[in-house]
Chain A
Amino acid sequence: MTRNEETGQGLDDATLARACRTAAVTVFVSTLLLLMLLHAAPAAHAAEVRVVIEDVRSTSGVLRVQVLTATDAGEGPAVAQLMLPAVKPQVRATLHDLEPGRYAARVHHDLDGDGEMATNLVGMPTEPWGVSNDARGRFGPPPFKDMVVEVGVDGGELRMTLVH
């Protein structure tokens, strides 16, 4: 399986941790890139995974979705990167041929289409974003474990609501 080793223009973890404390709340910034659908290895038990993005408020730009594997240690490599047209109020896509397992996803509504998460002067995201299960942190980024979805042989769903 091809792995996406790129890490994007988002903030690194240390900066992120600081930014989070900054406002004493979660300031979650994902490392989102110009995303493309990557190769997914055909598997004996291929499953179908629906990606659903809620509360899309603008048709500008594109939605960039990163689908990640979950390992025992936490975040694993990305298995898919999608660039989807923005449709109000909901965007749906289907990933075929994923192996049953544990997955998570992030989305960034790239309103200006520049491929980067727009931020304010201190690095907080100013374009809409979301994570699977709508996981939320309290004083830090959403815990990755709360983003994880089990995908069985019958498939699964990665659902996220945009934060504006």
Chain B
Amino acid sequence: MDHIDADVLIIGAGGAGLRAAIAAAEADPSLTIALVSKVLPMRSHTVAAEGGSAGVIQAHDSLENHFNDTVHGGDWLCEQDVVEFFVERCTPELIQLEHWGCPWSRKPDGQINVRAFGGMKIERTWFAADRSGFHILHTLFQTSTKYPSIKRFDEYFCIDLLIDDGRAQGATVFSPSTGEFTAITARAVILATGGAGRVFRQNTNGGIVTGDGMALAYRHGVPLRDMEFMQYHPTCMPGTGILFTEACRGEGGHLLNKDGYRFLQDYGLGPVTAEPRNKTMELGPRDRLSQAIWQEERKGRTMTTPAGESYVHLDLRHLGAAKLKERLPLICDLAEEFMGIDPATAPIPVRPAVHYTMGGIEVDIRTATTLAGLYAAGECSSVGIHGANRLGSNSLGELTVFGHVAGDEAVKFAKGAPAAQGGKLLDQAKASAAKVLGLRDQKGGGERHAVLRKEMATTMEKGCGIYREASEMQKTCDKLAELKRRYRDITLEDRSSVWNTDWICAVELGYQLDVAEAVAYSALMRRESRGAHQRIDGFEKRDDVNFLAHSLANYRDGAAPEISYGPVKITKSQPGERAYGALGEALEAKEASHA
């Protein structure tokens, strides 16, 4: 086995990993930074983000507004000190991206343009047409090539962390292209491996979004926090789950049921106004909109595709062809290429699909996990800004703000830590390699990972969907336990070593099953409704007495996870009623008159 030693090891080269790498390289150019990604960096799923990234820039907006929108949107399950830190740093990070070349859309005078987004009081979402994540990712990747201290390991797949002396000291990786394993030792490690949306059936995530880093940390005793909060995005393509960005509604799109009626007004999101109004109707938050679509389906007011998926209409026709082409070109292409629809002349069928993993690896405001030397940033982490429901355009900001912090902190830690010692760590690396080789070569009992994956995704959707009840969640937990047993009996068709994607998929499924279990048990144990976790079995209300708390899933080998709870940091916003539309405005006015 090869052995490479670095100072800082970063696993994941999406938005968070690349930002961390650049920060680390700038913090101390003399350190070696190893940047590992299982795909070429620009294939990372940040590439798919469409709508944009939030940062206060208009004179009539304020950091306080962004703070309040985020904390209310998260149904008060946010770490308020972290949110405060976050909103302050969003705009400087967006400016930094601008300096690095990100082609932000502009106003006629050359200033940055911003658009409205769901749950945001004032327009503050910076955008690059509807390819914002794509441009952020390519800008970061291309910029990262100017730092000689960043050594990339493109298309290297991480199979385990190396831990000794109570510290994370590296990882074992292998190259699908050669089938060779490498131990990368380091004095500090950052996980930036992205979300886990593909544990659900219909989702907006790419095939690579399999929760790898979450599972790796979790298996080594780092808790996964708030995993029950999985975000459903209301407007996705029925069948594939491909996303139609919230910017469609930010630009003025309408949601219609089968009668052509803007049904959101029936769910406390009205009034209907001619011009789009922030935090009202289609500009309400994602959890509320997805729930409303589910309710419409129950009332028989949705439509159904030939394949049996129910849907409502996203109507963009009134925006006109010119605006659609300027602001939403990708959306037009997707509708045209995949559905044969021109959004300027016909409404687009949409339905909710799983989109974002609000929870993740528990980290503090410095992105440090509970394991010394291990940091996490981006969607794989839970730093505390999303609470029970993430606001659209807060996640791209998270990548740059906390990617930056992680890079700085890892450098600081690395400089104070002794160099990694080969011996014991290399033995660990050999043992992890032997384990995954065992999975590849075992005779097994004839189980196929593709079958297990399908069953996992189906049971997650059934038990942990938009609305939840104990009996179904329990069934999901039991099913996952069964799938984990059957996983041990996997037989691979492919035993070769070059580009054995059969094998990689099987390893990823192992990660997914662990993460899915953390989601299902955290959901089952939360006996209240909050944000994206909505129950219909007697726990329909938020319960601040018992559940204004972060869930923590702790891994137990061969057993169900143990779920415990940790405190939520409240600084200046006391939990109140979370309301949108007219009621939201009335509450806000009341609050302002008290202040």
Q: Do A and B bind each other?
A: no
